[in-house]
Amino acid sequence: MNIDQEQLRNFLFEANANGYAANENRILPQRPGFKELEYQKGEWYFRDSYAGWYMAPGQEVIYFKNTPVWTMAYTGGMKEEWHKDEYFTSETFKFLKEALLAMDKDKPYRGPMSFRRDEWWYISKIKGEIDDFIGNEKIYNNNRLVFEQNFIGGLIIGKED
């Protein structure tokens, strides 16, 4: 299936703006122990599925006309020294959501290259484009690395029947 990458990028931007970072569109998960979110517009459908809290690996999939066309996997989370501090972790995730909502419209996979608020700093490095990319995001609090996550994704290209 030939996908218009600009339409895909625009839909991903909308889906992410209406998903985890916005605390919206939670659904009953397909797999026990997972949290899932969805967003749909016309023939486009997005599903984000992840498990865990301090460390929460997951996967996003975009379907067009009921066919999976794009995916991104991510893994990582809070640095181990913060695994017992629920309050600080909650504050970190609150800041992460702010950063994710400030995403770059041209690269809407995660947050922007840089985002700051008070003692918090989010940075994201991405190689590639929407069809094939790899990235890393970090959150610092008072210059201490407290959160790190890797992500990889791109188009799904199947064999033509």
Start-to-end CA distance of the chain, whole Å, equals 11
The whole-number pLDDT of residue 22 equals 78
The whole-number pLDDT of residue 26 equals 84
Phi and psi torsions of 66, nearest 5°: 65, 15
Q: Which residue has the tokens 């066919």?
A: 67
Contacts of range 113-121, beta carbons closer than 8 Å, 24 or more positions apart: 120/95
State which residues of the chain have pLDDT below 50: 161
The whole-number pLDDT of residue 37 equals 93
The whole-number pLDDT of residue 23 equals 74
- Predicted structure pTM score: 0.92
